Structure 1
Amino acid sequence: MLRNPTGTICRIKSVVGASEEDLKLLAEQSVCKMVCEGGRVRFEVSSGENGRQMHYSEDVLRYLFDKMFEIASSRGDSNDSFPVVVTVPPTFTEEQRKIIRIIATKVGFKVLRIVNEPTAAVLAYHLGSRPSTTPCRYVVYRMGGSTTDVTLIKVLGGAYSLESHVTRSDLGGKLITKELAEHCATEFQRQMRVDMRESRRGMAKLMNAAETAKHVLSTLETAQCFAESVYEGLDLSVNVSRARFESLLGPIISRCIEPLQEILTKASLTPNDIHKVVLCGGSCRVQKVRRAVAAYLSQADILDSKSPDEVIALGAAAQAALLCGRNSQQDVLVRCSAPCLSKGIYIKPSKNGTLTLAIPSGTAVPT
């Protein structure tokens, strides 16, 4: 992104099968030029000596699956059929899931099942493996770079029902990185008596350095944020303690709790009704984010022993192994991953009649 922003395509998953309105918003946010025409999305990529190249979104997605197939082939037998379980966001429609299945199949994968990402995160911890006649409710809290997703899953009798889902597209790890970068830019201005914010390239370098420092502060008490030649040949070097870093995050952390509050309100539940919380997404490495979620859902067990970057993939791999009969130790098989209505359906009997709730939100959609 730093060396060739106009030649880097990001957030391709959000583009697949997206509505025209969503595509317009994504086009505004994309650094790489993105054009919507005839229901298809085309990226105009700067490729140095070759000038500009055109790539449709489905081609970009195929390149990604091609690379994953190449990795799988290098680690498996040439005769393997490479059966896989593919994960997708819970908001994906049947049409979007169909697109993913077709592309994955074309490159050589045998798609056993398509599972919602939150369900895969739950499977990674083998939740629901014991028979129970009472429902258990789990929250999957996923904070990535650009978005935060909170999902409420009910498990009963081997059926995984997605009861409610909340997405915040304006809340993610990039906000944390920007806050740290802003602090470092202020320190640089105090030290050098110049404002590096005037340099777009300098700020891009600083954002990259702040991202690295953020990762370090997830495990160590101090980190150095260093970037070369950020303004007229001057280097930036700022030492940041974890305590100082966390003090910058107050407003962001309070926003991290809002989707939790919203999802419980929609389901008419309290924090005490949640049994376990699965943390996933790279931004959940930030200690203050973990503590905030744990404090709000104080009666729930916080599951964070697995890498938050890998937990969804681990759940998908475990399910694929079970479907292939390669894992005798795990007995969790998703027989039903049921999408649920995000909003209730009301009926108005007559023109002057009152609205009557017919199907409440959270009702599983029959398949």
Structure 2
Amino acid sequence: MGDTQLKNDMTYWPFKVAQGDSGPAIDISGKYYPPEEIASYLLKQIVQDASTYLRTPIKKVVITVPAYFTDGQRAATLDAGELAGLEVLEILNEPTAAAIAYKLERFHEESRNVLIFDMGGGTFDVAVINTDSTSIEVLSVDGDTHLGGEDFDKALMHFCLKRFQEQHKVNPLVGNNLGTKTDKDVTKQRLRRLQTKCENAKVQLSFAPETTISVDSFYNGIDLLITIAREEFEKLIESLFNKAIDIVDRVLKDAEISKRDIHDIVLIGGSTRIPRVRELIIEFFDGKALNHTISPDEAVAYGSAVKAAILNGDQSKKMYNFKHIRDVIPRSLGIRTWMFDQEGQFTVIIPKSSKIPAEAMQEFRTKLDNQSAVEIKIFQGEERMADDNEYLGEFILSEIPPAPAGQEVIEVCMRVNNMGILHVTAVCKSTNGSETLIVSENKGRLSAETKKRIAGNKKITKTNKENSDMPTLPHQQSQKKGGILRRLTTFKKTPK
């Protein structure tokens, strides 16, 4: 709840977020629901609609997520699927799903480098992918989990609120954070109405030079009536457009591919219909035409359905004849260490863009004389200092034999499975004593007890049982003496 981005988002949401037992929760009529539970209801409804249409029950699913989702967000998605009573075959990155849909349109072509530009309602992903006649290989991914259509809506909402306040000398957000529950509810409803109008206006501005945003009796009987031109709208969100293009430039550098070497540019997501988005992409690629062979709205669903079919039967494997579909890790994974006389360094164990599944190991030495325990703090990101990256979890390896500083060697192994879930193991080599953490159970993840409460008497899946045995440690243990490792050397294991 202390996250700055979350607090900013909450200002414009038409519902209330409160602190629940396992982290932020949605307040519905005084009852708190974790986001995973809300998502599970949506998944249930989607599966029910599909089952009705297909006239057959559905139990197995492939769920897509933005490529730049963190480890914890992927684990939360897996939780939601399991709470919905589904067997989740795979958590699939959305650009990879779109690449599958693209490949089905040109199955027999030779090697091509494709850039997937995926800008949807709330997130933005870019992936550089190489395809040949029988395979899809992701070379690099990048993105932003807070860049998409909702951010454009929010910019329009802020514009309208500011203009309304200037016109009528009143603040329509009064009651959002203060006042009675009724005042807060009325303000949330007011924002919901405005958000709907702004979303519609955004769509209209993709086809019309200007539009009018109108909300009857918006505040104390006063109507909101504001006209905005497309150029004015584009100026409001120009910084977001530029941010997206910067990410495109970055992903090409990570893939070590020039703009000239990209054969096709595939647009995915409703926000790619905004004319200025398309203009900037064409300008960046020096006038190269965009590929429109697949639907920006359906490509991810189409590709994930094909992936589910491949995972679910030999007949589909023969039909689609993919030798492999290989994804990559979006951000580097590592731990906090002491190195070069400086505490808090981020030591990468699995680098960004490593192929999934991935496994790598590094060895470290203890820093202090007679150090009996080490703290393994796990992060995800590209910054040099650990605390500037995304914190994923931590655990303690104890019962290290007394020895001079630097004598005991600790081996830290990281493994990312096909679901994109991270497993971390630390071993003291002199005793073979070890501790393991499946990161999906840390940093506010739903506990096994919470899952059981939500699921009622439903059978807990094997994955949940495994995760419930993993240690989760109080954050205050981060100050325990001797919780620093000194980097020793690096060994890489080649993924199978």
Please report the TM-score for the alignment, with normalisation by the length of structure 1.
0.71
Ranges in structure 2 where 5+ consecutive residues have no aligned partner: 177-186, 342-347, 359-494
Q: Do the aligned partners of 1:274 and 1:299 also contact (CA within 8 Å) in 2?
A: no
Select 1:314's aligned residue among 302, 306, 319: 302
Q: How much has 1:361 moved relative to structure 2?
A: 5.0
Q: Do the aligned partners of 1:213 and 1:224 also contact (CA within 8 Å) in 2?
A: yes
Query: Per the alignment, do residues 97 and 269 of structure 1 end up closer, same or farther by CA in structure 2, a change over 3 Å counting?
Result: same
- CA–CA distance in structure 1, aligned partners of residues 257 and 248 of structure 2: 11
Q: How much has 1:312 moved relative to structure 2?
A: 1.0
Query: Per the alignment, do residues 344 and 298 of structure 1 end up closer, same or farther by CA in structure 2, a change over 3 Å counting?
Result: farther
Q: How much has 1:253 moved relative to structure 2?
A: 2.4
Q: Do the aligned partners of 2:20 and 2:34 also contact (CA within 8 Å) in 1?
A: no
Matched with 1:63 is 41
1:335 pairs with 2:311: no
> Greater CA radius of gyration, 1 or 2?
2
Q: Which has the higher helix share?
A: 1
* One-letter amino acid of the counterpart of residue 66, structure 2: P
Query: Per the alignment, do residues 23 and 315 of structure 1 end up closer, same or farther by CA in structure 2, a change over 3 Å counting?
Result: farther
Query: Per the alignment, do residues 65 and 44 of structure 1 end up closer, same or farther by CA in structure 2, a change over 3 Å counting?
Result: closer
Matched with 2:207 is 219
1:362 pairs with 2:391: no
1:126 pairs with 2:126: no
**3-state SS of 1:85 partner:** strand
**3-state SS of 2:97 partner:** helix
1:272 pairs with 2:251: no
Q: Do the aligned partners of 1:142 and 1:150 also contact (CA within 8 Å) in 2?
A: yes
- CA–CA distance in structure 1, aligned partners of residues 100 and 340 of structure 2: 48
Query: Per the alignment, do residues 238 and 55 of structure 1 end up closer, same or farther by CA in structure 2, a change over 3 Å counting?
Result: closer
Matched with 2:240 is 252
Q: Do the aligned partners of 2:66 and 2:124 also contact (CA within 8 Å) in 1?
A: no
* One-letter amino acid of the counterpart of residue 149, structure 2: G
Matched with 1:194 is 169
Superposition RMSD on alpha carbons, in Å? 4.0
Count of residues in Structure 1 that have an aligned counterpart in Structure 2? 328
Q: How much has 1:182 moved relative to structure 2?
A: 4.4
1:233 pairs with 2:231: no
* One-letter amino acid of the counterpart of residue 144, structure 2: R
Q: How much has 1:359 moved relative to structure 2?
A: 8.7
Matched with 2:121 is 145
Query: Per the alignment, do residues 77 and 212 of structure 1 end up closer, same or farther by CA in structure 2, a change over 3 Å counting?
Result: same
Q: How much has 1:211 moved relative to structure 2?
A: 1.5
Q: How much has 1:149 moved relative to structure 2?
A: 1.9
- CA–CA distance in structure 1, aligned partners of residues 139 and 86 of structure 2: 30
**3-state SS of 1:145 partner:** coil
Query: Per the alignment, do residues 114 and 147 of structure 1 end up closer, same or farther by CA in structure 2, a change over 3 Å counting?
Result: closer
Structure 2 counterparts to residues 195-210 of structure 1, below 5 A: 195-196=170-171, 199=174, 201=187, 205-210=193-198
Select 1:160's aligned residue among 116, 136, 161: 136
Ranges in structure 1 where 5+ consecutive residues have no aligned partner: 1-21
Q: Do the aligned partners of 2:165 and 2:172 also contact (CA within 8 Å) in 1?
A: no
Query: Per the alignment, do residues 123 and 187 of structure 1 end up closer, same or farther by CA in structure 2, a change over 3 Å counting?
Result: same
Deviation per CA, 1:210-257: give whole Å up to 9, x if none: 121111222334422111122331212233343443344433322221
Query: Per the alignment, do residues 59 and 220 of structure 1 end up closer, same or farther by CA in structure 2, a change over 3 Å counting?
Result: same
Q: How much has 1:296 moved relative to structure 2?
A: 1.0
Q: How much has 1:96 moved relative to structure 2?
A: 6.7
